[in-house]
């Protein structure tokens, strides 16, 4: 039986570093990642969406996001994880957010994810950079 906590740790490592190859090892092809709230990040994403977002996220930060796991609990097919992420955006602004994610796993892969964060901070810090990147594309 896979170690679900290890899968989640690998997810955060891949997310923080923007490593799509590593991310592919822990997410299922059928993943549904639900980001709650009302920010531009809210909605449901597929595996392709997640992998595409890794490149964008990496381009917005100077050195990725350093995720620190504060607490993690695993039961049956679920892992609940509270984290803090620290980073510096390319414009020099600190982007430090708090997250709670509930992961659902099957056969060693994440097939569903519910993400909760400070969506006001996401809009204020990342929104202008994402809009500028979209204009350049």
Interval 16-68: pLDDT, tens: 999 999 999 999 999 999 999 888 889 999 999 999 989 888 889 999 999 99
Q: 105 lies in which domain range? A: 4-136
Q: What is d(CA 77, CA 62) in angstroms, rounded to the nearest whole number?
A: 35
Instruction: Say whether pLDDT at 137 is over 70.
Output: no
Q: What is d(CA 16, CA 34) in angstroms, rounded to the nearest whole number?
A: 18
Per-residue pLDDT band for 133 (boundaries 50, 70, 90) equals: confident
Residue 62: per-residue pLDDT? 94
CATH number for the domain spanning 40: value is 3.10.450.50
Tokens of 91: 């414009």
Residue 71: per-residue pLDDT? 98
Residue 127: per-residue pLDDT? 86
Per-residue pLDDT band for 129 (boundaries 50, 70, 90) equals: confident
Note the pLDDT tens digit of each residue in 69-114: 999 999 999 999 999 999 999 999 999 999 999 999 999 999 999 9
Residue 90: per-residue pLDDT? 92
Q: What are phi and psi of 75, to 5 degrees?
A: -150, 130
Instruction: Say whether pLDDT at 1 is over 60.
Output: no
- Residue 84 near residue 70, CB atoms below 8 Å: yes
DSSP 92-123: S-EEEEEEEEEEEEETTEEEEEEEEE-HHHHH
Q: What are phi and psi of 27, to 5 degrees?
A: -110, 140
Number of domains into which the chain is organized:
1
């Amino acid at each position: 039986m896979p170690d679900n906590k290890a899968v989640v740790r690998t997810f955060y490592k891949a997310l923080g570093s923007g490593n799509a190859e590593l991310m592919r090892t822990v997410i299922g092809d059928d993943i549904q990642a639900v980001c709650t709230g009302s920010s531009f990040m809210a909605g449901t994403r597929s595996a392709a969406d997640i992998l595409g977002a890794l490149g964008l996220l990496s381009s917005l930060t100077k050195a990725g996001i350093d995720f620190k796991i504060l607490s993690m609990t695993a039961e049956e097919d679920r892992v609940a994880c509270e984290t803090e992420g620290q980073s510096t955006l390319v414009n020099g602004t600190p982007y430090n957010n708090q997250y709670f994610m509930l992961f659902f796993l099957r056969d060693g892969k994440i097939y569903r994810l519910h993400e909760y964060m400070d969506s006001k901070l996401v809009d204020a810090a990342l929104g202008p950079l994402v809009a500028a990147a979209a204009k350049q594309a």
